[in-house]
Amino acid sequence: MKKTYNINNKGYYGEFGGAFIPEMLYPNVEELRQNYLKIMAEPTFQDEFNQLLKDYVGRPSPLYYAKRLSKKYNTKVYLKREDLNHTGAHKVNNTVGQILMAKRLGKTRIIAETGAGQHGVATATVCALMGIECIVYMGEIDIARQAPNVARMKMLGAQVRPALSGSRTLKDATNEAIRDWINNPVDTHYIIGSAIGPHPYPDMVTKFQSIISEEIKWQLKEKEGKEDPEYVVACIGGGSNAAGTYYHFLDNENVGIIAVEAAGKGIHSGESAATSVLGKEGIIHGCKTLLMQTLDGQITEPYSISAGLDYPGVGPLHSHLYKSGRGEFYSATDDEAMTAGLELAQLEGIIPAIETSHALAIFEHKTFKPDDIVVISLSGRGDKDLQNYIDYFKL
Amino acid sequence: MTLKQVQGDDNKNMNRINQKLQENKKLLSIYFTAGYPNIDDTVRVIKDLEKSGVDMIEIGLPFSDPLADGPTIQASSTAALKNGMTTETLFKQLKDIRQTVTIPLIIMGYFNPVLQYGVEDFCKKCQDIGIDGLILPDLPADVYDEAYKATFEKYGLINVFLITPQTSNERIRYIDSISNGFIYMVSSASTTGAKSGFGNTQTDYFERINSMNLKNPQIVGFGISNNDTFTQATQYAKGAIIGSAFIKHLTHNGITTIDKFVRSIL
């Protein structure tokens, strides 16, 4: 059998993944597991999904040759413009897919967790589109630092419930969403926003996001006469934009896979979210993966200036890419990311989300050859982060 | 030696949980979080619960992210961790517990701390101390069956699984087949401490489970907080578990009036 980095039929990527869930969640997760591939393969589902991606999301998103950035770093940089999607990030690819899934499963109530608020907005958006009740859990700290997205969710008719436990960020919002699902097992679908959670979530989210690499292939063929870049680069919190950016290149080892995590104030500063370096194998939110924890198995509180990367784990696919050596993992500090974000604004006229700025900081850590084609996932736009940029640069 | 062989040998070697389940009475089991309200309260709480007539104790090993628990048990876990509770500390506290306490003791927690300690080391330590069983809600039945059942049995530990009103009959049969103590019958679809009291939905569910004639007796948990709900639940089951209501009692009254709480239930 050909070597594959993709998921196996038991829901594992190598040793990572699975479904470590309390029995209360078993029927919901099992229902999804039994149906998701079947539903995704239905022609009517695909038609509706593709139509919405085209007419509502605005896909295909451009693959943009960043001339001045390329010149500065003496290599060929393409930006995959997920920031131009409706709602301003890649997150909507997944929520469009999952809302159609939820409808086919007969669900009438949607819950979601959100960190930066991008997934919350993307979920609130598709719920408004379909006329379905929407509840978004968001850490109290994130509510404070992502005020514009909170307002957007409310305007879209969603209820935003603060997660008050633990570090009051993404991890805790996810805990609250899972508890909601336990308490509402029949009518509710949980739209997880990242490539995390119990099987089949990491695989389902990855497949909905795989449109990113599917487009990169044909767009690059048009522009460069070949489908495969030398490298694909993405930032990683839980890892959904990364999973989508890598997906069609996973088993093509000619394409280098690069992940950039959030180092926060420095990997060993005690305020970091660089899971591949600081994490160890364990169980978080229903899957076996690398996560930041104490020796005693208590999950620790991560830190990053970016709310979307402020998560103590990475998706199981990424743990596998790291452990197997298939992926190159780097981490960018707050300062490196902010600087890279400002640089993109001034070289290319694009203000990126702070999450995305971490991916752009790759040039601080790796030198590419002049002929290398480097595709960077520009996962989101920076409007929501304007206040953070203002405070940081005293603009 | 498997547990079944042990059971066959003689009553003295039988797991305390199985012995207790043979008694001709309804059982009261109490959950509390180790290291709560204060780090050194663990042993005192266990002793007082036994003296007050409780039949079985679930010792909560606190976890940072307790997904299946409502706010009361979450808060007690957070407090216990702040107090400095660790797996090693709990084992140290319980080292001599069997010199005085004879009722079944179960450790209830989440799988990650056990995984980090090392599943086999954890089980061995439990056997050394005299722990009789484990409840790990996020260790799924199929993973247990495939990867850990042999280890648990090697150290004489009973693993207790949960079922809920949504659990299919087929899966209940499967869970019954890999269980060798009792089945934890979660009364309603909820996290701990969310609801109190039982309606027709619950009693229909209890009756449905009763009619399945499972090999393992059932003990009801979630939603039991007083004499009324205890009496109601045990009409349909071998016993009942109280968690959040007891934690609330500790929060408001400290550890000096445990007997009063137990008397109000029985």
Q: Confidence band (pLDDT; 50, 70, 90) for A2?
A: low
Is the pLDDT reported for residue A224 higher than 70?
A: yes
What is the per-residue DSSP string for A87-136?
A: GGBTHHHHHHHHHHHHHHTT--EEEEEESSSHHHHHHHHHHHHHT-EEEE
CATH architecture of A17-53+91-205: 3-Layer(aba) Sandwich (3.40)
- A286 in contact with B, Cβ within 8 Å: yes
Cβ B53 vs Cβ B266: under 8 Å = yes
* Residue A307: per-residue pLDDT: 85
> Is A24–B117 a contact, with Cβ atoms under 8 angstroms apart?
no
Location of structure tokens 């996290």:
B191
Task: Tell me what the mean pLDDT of segment A313-338 comes to.
Answer: 98
B18: closest CA of chain A, how far (Å)? 23
* Residue B195: per-residue pLDDT: 72
Q: Do the two domains A17-53+91-205 and A58-89+210-393 of this chain adopt the same fold?
A: yes
Residue A176 Cα to chain centre, angstroms:
19
Residue B72 lies in a domain: yes
* Residue B5: per-residue pLDDT: 46
Q: Where are the domains of chain A?
A: 17-53+91-205, 58-89+210-393
Give the residue from B240, B247, B163, B174 showing the smallest Cα distance to B209.
B163
* Residue B189: per-residue pLDDT: 81
* Residue B7: per-residue pLDDT: 44
Residue B156 lies in a domain: yes
Question: Is the backbone peptide bond immediately before A200 cis, with ω within 30 degrees of 0?
Answer: yes
* Residue A229: per-residue pLDDT: 98
Residues paired with residue B218 on neighbouring β-strands, in sequence order: B183
With the C-alpha atoms ordered A21, A26, A32, A33, is the resulting torsion angle positive or negative?
positive
* Cα B161 from Cα B137, distance rounded (Å): 7
> Is A27–B168 a contact, with Cβ atoms under 8 angstroms apart?
yes
Q: Confidence band (pLDDT; 50, 70, 90) for B11?
A: low
**pLDDT digit string, tens, across residues B108-159:** 999 999 999 999 999 999 999 999 999 999 999 999 999 999 999 999 999 9
Residue B21 lies in a domain: no
A182: closest CA of chain B, how far (Å)? 6
Domain count across chain B: 1
Residue B96 lies in a domain: yes
Cβ B163 vs Cβ B185: under 8 Å = yes
**pLDDT digit string, tens, across residues B198-239:** 888 888 999 999 999 999 999 999 999 999 999 999 999 999
**pLDDT digit string, tens, across residues A185-198:** 899 999 999 999 99
A328 is catalytic: no
* Residue B192: per-residue pLDDT: 82
- A166 in contact with B, Cβ within 8 Å: yes
Which range of residues forms the domain containing residue B58? 26-265
B168: closest CA of chain A, how far (Å)? 8
B55 is catalytic: no
* Residue A319: per-residue pLDDT: 98
Residue B261 lies in a domain: yes
Residues paired with residue B219 on neighbouring β-strands, in sequence order: B184, B239
User: Exposed e or buried b for every residue in A319-330, given b needs 16+ CB within 10 A?
Assistant: bbbbbeebbbbb
Q: Confidence band (pLDDT; 50, 70, 90) for A167?
A: confident
* Residue B8: per-residue pLDDT: 44
> Is A283–B138 a contact, with Cβ atoms under 8 angstroms apart?
yes
User: Exposed e or buried b for every residue in A353-386, given b needs 16+ CB within 10 A?
Assistant: bbbbbbbbbbbeebebeeebbbbbbbbbbbebbe
- B81 in contact with A, Cβ within 8 Å: yes
CA-based end-to-end distance of chain B: 38
Supply A45's token pair.
Answer: 């589902």
Q: Please tell me the pTM assigned to this model.
A: 0.95
Supply A260's token pair.
Answer: 């950039």
CATH number at residue B254: 3.20.20.70
CA-to-CA dists, residue A76 to A73, A257, A326, A346, A375, angstroms:
8, 16, 22, 18, 8
- A292 in contact with B, Cβ within 8 Å: no
> Which helix (H) or strand (E) element contains residue B142?
helix B141-143
- The residue among B76, B110, B116, B146 with the most chain A CBs within 10 A of its CB, best to mutate, is B116
Is the pLDDT reported for residue B3 higher than 60?
A: no
Q: Confidence band (pLDDT; 50, 70, 90) for A1?
A: low
A276 is catalytic: no
> Is B63–A298 a contact, with Cβ atoms under 8 angstroms apart?
yes
User: Exposed e or buried b for every residue in A120-137, given b needs 16+ CB within 10 A?
Assistant: bbbbbbbbeeeebebbbb
DSSP A299: B
Interface of B with A in 150-189 (CB under 8 A): 161-164, 166-168, 171, 186, 189
Looking at 2.130.10.10, 3.40.50.1100, 1.10.1370.30, 2.60.40.10, the CATH number of the domain A58-89+210-393 comes to 3.40.50.1100
Mean pLDDT of chain B: 93
**pLDDT digit string, tens, across residues A265-296:** 999 999 999 999 999 999 999 999 999 999 99
* Residue B12: per-residue pLDDT: 61
